Amino acid sequence: MHYQNALAEEIRSSAAHLLAEDVGPGDITAQLIPENQWATAKVMSREAAVLCGVAWVDEIFRRLDSRVTRRWQAADGDQLVPEQYFLELEGPARSLLTGERAALNVLQTLSATATATHRYVDLIKGTGVRLLDTRKTLPGMRLAQKYAVTCGGGHNHRIGLWDAFLIKENHIAACGGIQAAVAQARKLASDIPVEVEVETFEELDQALAAGADIIMLDNFALEDLHVAVEINGGRATLEASGNVDATTLKAIAETGVDCISSGALTKDVKSIDLSMRITQTFNV
């Protein structure tokens, strides 16, 4: 429930920010259009994609001009084909053009994350391995991109620094070892999952002995991932991370790990090519 409430607030605040960023004190070019001129417009994807960002677009136009109506022919998570029109807008021509870039910017970015996630999920279909995102998100778009990952069929890792422990090499060094770090985490919050990042088999043994819930195998070679799975014997959830891309993903999944995390889903995305076109104008 907290996540849903936070996401709803994120949509409201980001829509306001996007409009403020693009419109500023006013759209001077839109003033060239008569105030009483209305229009219809269609939004199209020029490439195959997984749609994400409907609520953001609705909020942008709601804030900009409540007279703008949106008729969606697709929903978040739906797959789009090239040249597919998936949204029709109608309202004052000025408002359609003023909101165009803010709306397309958020759609093309979130759809990119959803699309990249869907491609990766397809590659590991049937393995039973879960694909996870990371905190390597675009600045200011944490919840939005994590939502987009779920639209593409992926799963969320921790949202931020508050909802799960992730004990990395610098934490281990500062705490005096894996055992000490895990013990302190249990004292601080016994009900929050504890994950430990390891780089060697020795550290893996230490994390298992300390009772870590999740162990991240950082940049393990494929053969080492197989060995780690055998050593673990189902005691902890194993997460593979590092060197994850379309060419390595399936092989990593087939080692027997439980999940794979990839920062590429959110930080390396290429925006989806979208276009809006005015299809009709009329006076009211």
User: Given 59, 197, 203, 239, which residue is catalytic?
Assistant: 197
Q: Residue 6, CB half-sphere, CA atoms under 13 Å: how many? A: 11
Q: Is 136 a catalytic residue?
A: yes
Pairing verdict, β 79-80 and 84-92: unpaired
CA nearest to 6, candidates 137, 144, 105: 144
Among 12, 42, 62, 101, which one carries the catalytic annotation?
Answer: 101
> Do residues 206 and 177 make contact, with C-beta atoms less than 8 angstroms apart?
yes
* 101 catalytically annotated: yes
Q: Using alpha carbons, list the distances in angstroms from residue 4 to 77, 147, 148, 212.
A: 17, 10, 14, 28
**Angstrom distances, CA of residue 70 to CA of 41, 52, 86, 116, 223:** 10, 15, 10, 26, 52
Given 12, 63, 119, 168, which residue is catalytic? 168
Burial grade of 139 (CB within 10 A; 0-12, 13-18, 19 or more): exposed
Instruction: Tell me whether residue 218 is one of the annotated catalytic residues.
Output: yes
Determine the Cα–Cα distance for residues 38 and 231; give it in Å rounded to an integer.
Answer: 67
Q: Which of 58, 213, 218, 224 is catalytic?
A: 218
Q: Which of 62, 119, 136, 267 is catalytic?
A: 136
Residues belonging to the active site = 101, 136, 168, 197, 218
